[in-house]
Chains A and B, each alone.
Chain A
Amino acid sequence: MPDTDVIVEMRHITKRFPGIVANDDISLQIHTGEIFAFAGENGAGKSTLMSMLFGMYQPDEGEIWVRGKRVDISSPNEAVALGISMVHQHFKLVRNYTVAENIVLGIEPVTRLLGLIPYVNMRPVNKAVRELSERYGLEVDPTSVIEDLPVSTQQRVEILKMLYREAEILIFDEPTAMLTPQEISYLLDIIRKLREDGKTIILITHKLEEIKQVADRCAILNHGKLIATMDVATSSTRDMASKMVGREVIFEIDKTPARPGPVVLEVSDLTVENEHGVDVTQDVSFQIHAGEIFAIAGVAGSGQVELADAVAGLSPVKTGAVLLEGRDITRMLVRPRTLKGVSYIPEDRQDVGLILDFLLEDNLASKSYFKAPFSQHSILHKDAFDAYADDLIRRYDIRCSSGALTLTRSMSGGNQQKAIVAREVEQDARLMIFVQPTRGLDIGAILAIRRRMIEERDKGRAILLVSLELDEILAVADTIGVMFAGRMLKVAPADQMTREEVGEYMMGVKHA
Chain B
Amino acid sequence: MSAVNTIIIDGLALALPLLVIAIGGIFSERSGIINLALEGLLGFGAFCGALFAYSCVAFHWFAPDSLAPMYLSFIVAAAGGALFAVIHAMLCVKFRANQVISGVVINILSVAMTGFLTSQINKTVFSGPSSRFDLMTAPRLTVPVLSKIPVLGAVFTRFYPFEVLILILLVVFWFILYRTRFGIHVRAAGDNPQALDAAGIEVSRVRFVAVLISGALAGIGGMCFAYSIFSYFSGAIYLGYGYLAIAALIFGNWKIMPTFAACLLFGFAQSGASQLVLLLKVNSSVGDLAMIVPYALTLILLAFFSKHNRAPRSLGEIYDKSKR
Interface: A257 (CB within 8 A): no
Check if A332 is an interface residue, CB within 8 A of chain B: no
Q: List A contacts of B197 (CB < 8 A).
A: 76
Chain B residues whose CB sits within 8 angstroms of the CB of A57 once the complex forms: 322
A402 at the B interface (CB under 8 A)? no
Q: How many cross-chain pairs have Cβ atoms below 8 Å apart between A and B?
A: 64
Known A-B contacts A76-B197, A92-B195, A106-B199; the reply to A97 vs B188 at CB < 8 A is yes
Is the CB–CB distance between B181 and A120 below 8 Å?
A: yes
Which residues of B, 238-261, contact A by the 8 Å Cβ criterion?
none
Residues of chain B with a CB closer than 8 A to A119's CB: 175, 179-180
Interface size class of A (residues with CB under 8 A): 20 to 34
Question: Please, which residues of chain A bring their CB within 8 A of the CB of B5?
Answer: none
Is B55 interfacial (CB-CB < 8 Å)? Answer: no
Check A105–B179 contact: CB distance below 8 A: no
Q: Is B194 an interface residue when CB atoms closer than 8 A count as contact? A: yes
Docked pose: A88 CA to B194 CA in angstroms: 11
**Among A96, A105, A118, which residue has its beta carbon within 8 angstroms of that of B196?**
A105
Bound state CA distance, A88 and B192, in angstroms? 14
CB contact under 8 A between A102 and B195, given known A94-B188, A95-B313, A409-B324: yes
Are A94 and B191 in touch, CB under 8 angstroms? yes
State whether the Cβ of B63 lies closer than 8 Å to any Cβ in chain A: no
What 0/1 readout, one digit per residue, does chain B (160-171) give for beta carbons within 8 Å of chain A?
000000000000
Q: For residue A90, which residues in chain B have a CB less than 8 angstroms away from its CB?
A: 324
Chain A 428-460, CB-CB to B under 8 Å as 1, else 0, gives: 000000000000000000000000000000000
Q: How far is the CA of A118 from the CA of B183 in the complex (A)?
A: 12
- Residue A185 at the B interface, CB < 8 A? no
Is A63 among interface residues, defined by CB-CB distance under 8 A? no
Tell me the complex Cα distance, A510–B72, Å.
79
Which B residue's beta carbon lies closest to that of A108? B181
- CB under 8 Å from chain A, chain B span 190-211: 191-192, 194-201
How far apart sit A213 and B200, CA to CA, in the bound complex (Å)?
34
A17 to chain B, nearest CB (A): 10
B200: A residues at CB distance < 8 A: 75-77, 80, 106-107
Determine if B181 and A92 form an interchain contact, defined as CB atoms under 8 angstroms apart: no
Q: Which residues of A contact B199 (CB under 8 A)?
A: 105-107
Interface digits, B139-183 against A, CB 8 Å rule (1 contact, 0 not)? 000000000000000000000000000000000000100011100
Q: Give the nearest-CB partner of A411 in chain B.
A: B324
In chain A between 43 and 96, which residues have their CB closer than 8 angstroms to a CB of chain B? 56-57, 75-77, 80, 88, 90, 92-96
CB of B323 within 8 A of chain A?
yes
Taking a contact as CB atoms under 8 Å apart, the answer to whether A105 and B180 are in contact is: no
B184–A105 touching, CB < 8 Å: yes
Contact B201 A97 (CB under 8 A): no
- B34-62 near A? 1/0 per residue, CB < 8 Å: 00000000000000000000000000000
**Structural contact, A94 and B324, CB atoms closer than 8 A:** no
**Chain A residue at minimum C-beta to C-beta distance from B201:** A106
Contact A120 B184 (CB under 8 A): yes
- Complex interface: chain A residues within 8 A of B195 (CB): 92-94, 102, 105
What's the Cα separation between A96 and B190 when bound, in Å?
10
A57–B324 CA distance with the chains assembled, in angstroms: 12
Which chain B residues border A76 with CB–CB below 8 Å?
A: 197-198, 200
B241 to chain A, nearest CB (A): 29
Question: In the complex, which residue of chain A has the Cβ closest to the Cβ of B313?
Answer: A95
Q: Which residue of B lies closest to A121 (CB)?
A: B179
Q: Is the CB of B191 within 8 A of A96?
A: yes
Task: Tell me, yes or no, whether A228 is within 8 Å of chain B by CB.
Answer: no
Tell me if B192 and A93 are in contact (CB < 8 A): yes
> Is A110's CB within 8 Å of the partner chain B?
yes
Instruction: Please give the distance in Å from B183's CB to the nearest CB on chain A.
Output: 8
Q: In the docked arrangement, what's the CA distance between A77 and B202, Å? A: 10
A1 to B199, CA, bound (A): 31
Of listed A88, A93, A106, residue having the most chain B CB within 10 A: A106
- Residues of the A chain whose Cβ atoms lie less than 8 Å from the Cβ of B194: 92
Residue in B closest to A117 when the chains form the complex, CB atoms? B175
Query: Taking CB as reference atom, which chain B residue is nearest A109?
Result: B181
In the complex, how many angstroms separate the beta carbon of B190 from the nearest chain A beta carbon? Answer: 9
Q: Please name all residues of chain A whose beta carbon is closer than 8 Å to the beta carbon of B181 when the two chains form the complex.
A: 108, 110, 118, 120
Interface residues of B in 92-122 (CB under 8 A from A): none
**Complex contacts, A118 vs chain B, CB 8 Å:** 180-181
Q: A105-B184, A119-B175 are in contact. Are A92 and B198 (CB under 8 A)?
A: yes
A362 beta carbon closer than 8 Å to chain B: no
Which single residue of chain A is at the shortest CB-CB distance from B191? A94
- Point out the residues of chain B lying under 8 angstroms from A92, CB to CB: 192, 194-195, 198
| Interface membership of A101, Cβ < 8 A | yes
B-chain residues with CB within 8 Å of residue A80 when the two chains form the complex:
200
Pick from A75, A93, A101, A409: contact of B184, CB under 8 Å: A101
Which of chain B's residues have a CB closer than 8 A to the CB of A93? 192, 195
Q: Are A108 and B184 in contact (CB under 8 A)?
A: yes
The smallest C-beta distance from A18 to any residue of chain B, in angstroms, reads 12
Give A118 Cβ to nearest chain B Cβ, in Å: 7
B201 and A94 contacting across the interface, CB-CB below 8 Å: no
Q: Which chain A residues lie closer than 8 Å to B313 at the CB level?
A: 95-96
Residues of B within 8 A of A107 (CB): 199-200
Interface residues as binary, B282-324 with A (CB distance below 8 Å gives 1, 0 otherwise): 0000000000000000000000000000000100000000111
A76 to B197, CA, bound (A): 8
Give bound CA distance, A120 to B322, whole Å: 30
For B187, what are the chain A residues with a Cβ–Cβ distance below 8 Å? Answer: 94, 96-97
A409 touches B323 (CB 8 A): yes
CA distance A105 to B195 in the complex (A): 9
Q: Which residues of A contact B322 (CB under 8 A)?
A: 56-57
**Known contacts A76-B200, A105-B199, A106-B201; is-contact A120 B192 (Cβ 8 Å):** no
Query: Which B residues have a C-beta under 8 Å from some C-beta of A?
Result: 175, 179-181, 184-185, 187-188, 191-192, 194-201, 313, 322-324
10 A-B pairs with the lowest CB-CB distances in the bound complex, closest first: A106-B199, A77-B200, A92-B195, A105-B199, A119-B179, A92-B198, A94-B188, A106-B200, A94-B191, A94-B192
Known contacts A57-B322, A94-B188; can you find 8 more A-B pairs with CB under 8 A?
Answer: A92-B194, A93-B192, A93-B195, A96-B187, A101-B184, A107-B199, A107-B200, A108-B184
Q: List 27 A-B contacts (CB under 8 A).
A: A57-B322, A76-B200, A77-B200, A92-B192, A92-B194, A92-B195, A92-B198, A94-B187, A94-B188, A94-B191, A94-B195, A95-B313, A97-B187, A97-B188, A101-B184, A105-B196, A105-B201, A106-B185, A106-B199, A110-B181, A117-B175, A118-B181, A119-B175, A119-B180, A120-B180, A120-B181, A409-B323
Chain A interface residues toward B at CB < 8 A: 56-57, 75-77, 80, 88, 90, 92-97, 101-102, 105-108, 110, 117-120, 409
